[in-house]
Amino acid sequence: MVGETLQIGLAGLGTVGSGVYEALLRNRDLLEARAQISYQVRRIAVRDKTRKRGVEVDETLLTDDWRDLVDDDEIDIVIELIGGTTEAYQLVRAALEKGKPVVTGNKALLAEYGSTLFRLSREKGVPLYFEASCGGGIPIVQSLQHSLICNKVSAVVGIINGTSNYVLTAMDKEGLSLREALQQAQSLGYAEPDPLLDINGWDAAHKGLILAMLAYGAPLGSEAISVTGIEHIEPVDFSFARRLGYTIKLLVVIRYHERRNALELRVQPSFVPQQHLLSKVDGVFNAIAVCGDIVGETIFYGRGAGKNPTSSAVVGDVVLAMRECRLPGYHTGFLPYAEGVKALPVEATETSCYVRFRVKDCHGVIASIATIFSQHDIGIAATSSAEGEHDGTEGWNHLVFMLHVCCWGQLQEALGDIRKLPTVVGEPVVLRIESFQTS
């Protein structure tokens, strides 16, 4: 081994924290042999020292104050796994100020405070590592920073939330309602008791902001991303999708428009062609497609969440941090290298679209909707219908329009007029049809 034993401070001993602690102990000989550096966990910060845990820990290592990690001059590296943003931000900022490299898996923290923390990292010359923040065990951060470093990235498109992907898969394969699929996911431990951020798309959005930062060199705020969740998807949408040669996935889409010098950044449920590899990504698995001008399209696939995949990513960063602690003045933590990227307003984005209406079962309803689309210069590629439920007096049908490529803002104006029709019931379901074009 080279040099003195490096000391690690771990903040958080929940699901991921306990997985990281176990991995550091279980594979210690392997890690030390590969890294050629010896280490030990010196201190562990937890909120409640009396709480029983699923991992055996020497009680003398525990503290209920994360500041003990920052203020201990013997600790070389801090791992932040406490979650949330407020306290986590205070911890990460204090550690960087003290010159201690930080490893985190906190996507919400980076989405909210990334700009400030990466600026501080640059000023102090102290790295912040975050492989586990998006994609779980998928090595997407290191790949974008190193393996694909010579590429101009034209697009990043991916499935990066395992909970929503499990729910959509169950709806597709088993014909479950969203509520039934979510309950199944919770019973299997794939969804949190409060799955709001998974279902409304914001968990994926936080990860998307990190991916955009890596691909284009500058942190972006949450105002730059358009987010739509899966709350309104129904089994009938999968029936239409299969009939038309698609499946439905919650996608993050990051696409650079060179002619506009602007970045399209959105999260939304989308039709994915059945022949594309992303359509085959089921259950809790994630996949991220990156299009580079030299490498072409590459796809990274693996478990996107869970104790073990996330712990693997965290420990990988820990080893990287240990190696780079031996190289003063050099590190591979992210450093912003570009001016702020201009975000393309969602109203200006263009795709083909699937729109499903609930309409009253009466004469002329297709013509009235088609007329409004025509008035807004939106072309119709196809229409389809399926019988709906009946309320005992007057029934209604599902009516689908497949639209040619159109401007999102233009579509919203047309939908505003269509909602006023007396034959249209409730809110339409709008899904983009992703083409996977790189420019």
Helix/strand/coil percentages in the chain, nearest 5: 40, 25, 35
Supply the DSSP string of 57-73, one letter for each residue: --GGGEES-THHHHH-T
Which pLDDT belongs to residue 341?
78
Question: Which residues have C-beta within 8 Å of that of residue 108, sequence separation ≥ 6?
Answer: 83, 84, 85, 206
Give a yes or no: residue 53 inside a domain: yes
Give a yes or no: residue 185 inside a domain: yes
Which pLDDT belongs to residue 439?
46
Does 286 share its domain with 317? Answer: no
The CATH code of the domain that includes 157 is 3.30.360.10
Which pLDDT belongs to residue 332?
67
Give a yes or no: residue 235 inside a domain: yes
Give a yes or no: residue 105 inside a domain: yes
Strands 6-11 vs 39-45: parallel, antiparallel or unpaired = parallel
Does 297 share its domain with 148? Answer: yes
pTM for the model: 0.89
Which residue is catalytic, options 100, 207, 249, 307? Answer: 207
Beta bridge partners of 62: 44
Q: How many CB atoms lie within 10 A of CB 155?
A: 19
Does 132 share its domain with 160? Answer: no
What is the domain count for the chain?
3
**Listed residues 273, 291, 325: the one ending a domain:** 325
342 tagged catalytic: no
Does 27 share its domain with 123? Answer: yes
Does 163 share its domain with 292? Answer: yes
Does 253 share its domain with 312? Answer: no
Does 167 share its domain with 83? Answer: no
Please answer whether residues 164 and 250 qualify as being in contact, where contact means their C-beta atoms are separated by less than 8 angstroms: yes
Does 168 share its domain with 107? Answer: no
Domain extent at residue 15: 6-136+308-325
Does 417 share its domain with 320? Answer: no
Give a yes or no: residue 265 inside a domain: yes
pLDDT tens digits for the chain (439 residues)?
A: 445 899 999 999 988 999 999 999 999 999 998 888 999 999 999 998 888 887 889 999 999 999 999 999 999 999 999 989 999 999 999 999 999 999 999 999 998 898 899 999 989 999 999 999 988 888 999 899 889 999 999 999 999 999 999 999 999 999 999 999 999 999 988 888 899 999 999 999 999 999 999 899 887 888 999 999 999 999 999 999 999 999 999 999 999 998 888 999 999 999 999 999 999 999 999 999 999 999 999 999 998 767 788 889 999 999 889 888 877 666 767 767 777 778 999 999 999 999 999 999 888 999 999 999 999 999 999 999 876 554 333 578 999 999 999 999 999 999 999 999 999 999 999 999 998 764 4
Supply the DSSP string of 293-329, one letter for each residue: TTTEEEEEEEE-SSHHHHHHHHHHHHHHHHHHHTSTT
Give a yes or no: residue 195 inside a domain: yes
Does 267 share its domain with 356? Answer: no
Does 313 share its domain with 422? Answer: no
Give a yes or no: residue 335 inside a domain: no
Give a yes or no: residue 21 inside a domain: yes
